[in-house]
Each structure stands twice: as C-alpha cells, then as structure tokens.
Chains A and B, each alone.
Chain A
C-alpha cells in the first residue's frame, strides 16, 4: 500500500483520529504534570500533588497506544461519514455561541440572549423574522422574569445598559 493510501486510511478512521486526539491530551497532561510546583513539605510526603496525575497520564497513554496499535493492525473501515451531516449550521451556530459569550457582558443578559435566539432561529431555517423576534423576545423576557423576580437572581445588565443609563 502506498504511503498516500495509508495516510488516507488513517485520516478516514474514526478510531485512529479519536485516539490520536486522546494521545495528544494525555501527553500534554503528562508534560504539565512534570511542571507542577513542588511544595517543600510535600517532598517528605509519599503521595503528592503529582502522584495521581502521573499514574493517570501513563495509564491513559498506555491504553491509547494499545488502541492505536490494534487499529493500525486491523484494517477497519471506519470512515468518517460526514457526508450526511450539514456542517454549515454547526459553523454558524458555533460562531454565534462564541459571539454570545464574547458580548454577554457588554450587551447584558436580555439583549445578548434575544440576539442569540433570533440569529439561531434564522440559521436553522426560521425565515419569518418577525416571528423569530417575537419568540426570542418572549422567551427571554419570561426567563428574565422567572430568574430575577421569582428566584431573585442577579442577571448581567451589561456595559451598554450601564453606559446608556449613565451608571
């Protein structure tokens, strides 16, 4: 089998890719474990802050390598079957969630949440913009009433509101 074919098989194998990700995480974890600060008194203690992390990382690396070994040995056809999935909604929803987290403190709970829901409805195919707005606004208002009035929870008002109100 040519190198390119082998590489293609690897990149299309869910098990291999997943295990490579886990291997990366385990190696990073082990690396960070070696950098754990030592406390003087802990030098006299058998069980320190790094004892369990070392055990976990080495065990995780062992199991992941075992799986990789078995996956490379067996010619499993576990292709990444992404064709039946739509990646566009995920991309835009992901961006929307990032935007929501980034602007939450600026816009405040109400404005950020209404915007999030409105655009999310649109991304998933809600074409009636007015309906989207009414549903988003109604739900957020209901949540605001429930959380801030009924449960007495403080919800972020937002820098924008504070700026506009001169606070």
Chain B
C-alpha cells in the first residue's frame, strides 16, 4: 500500500498543469485507442471514473508498470485485457493520453459547486 501511495505521489508531479489542451502525437494516438477499445465506457472519456462502472484512472494515471498490471490482471470486476486485444504499444499510448490530461480546477473556485 505504501509503495502505491509513494508511486502515486511521484506521478502527481508528472501531471500536466490545468488548462493545457494540446496533445502530443502519442497522446492523440492514445486517445484514439482509448475510445476504440471501449475503455471510456467504464472510466469516462477523460478517465474521470464513474460510481457504478469504474474508478478514476486519469488526472493523473498510475505509473505505467502498475497500470499495465491492473489492465492485464485486474483485481476486481474489471475484465482482463490480454495483449491479443490490447497490445503493449497500445497500452503505452493510452497511458500517454491519460498522462496528458490537465489537472481539474479547484471546486472552491467553481460557483456551481458551492453549497
């Protein structure tokens, strides 16, 4: 658990600042694969997650090795994606895409979220 937390903290520093919109070619390719393979169905188009279908996987994503492990051998009810349906290169592209997504705004700065 501590290892995961440490890795998460490290990956936070890699997240792109809020507001940056342009995607690098690998990230563009990753977005295409993310949609094509249906990852967005459970995790949302920006990997934001959903209560009933799948957790947040973006903003920021887990480190690539852990990310790969959980896609190939998921812990819970997520179906396993073998390399027959999702190659290592495609997985890396998806990870690049998720890494490229901007940080969300602070809720305290959004009037729609005030009490």
Chains A and B bind each other: no
Q: Which residues of B contact A (CB under 8 A)?
A: none
Q: Which residues of A contact B (CB under 8 A)?
A: none
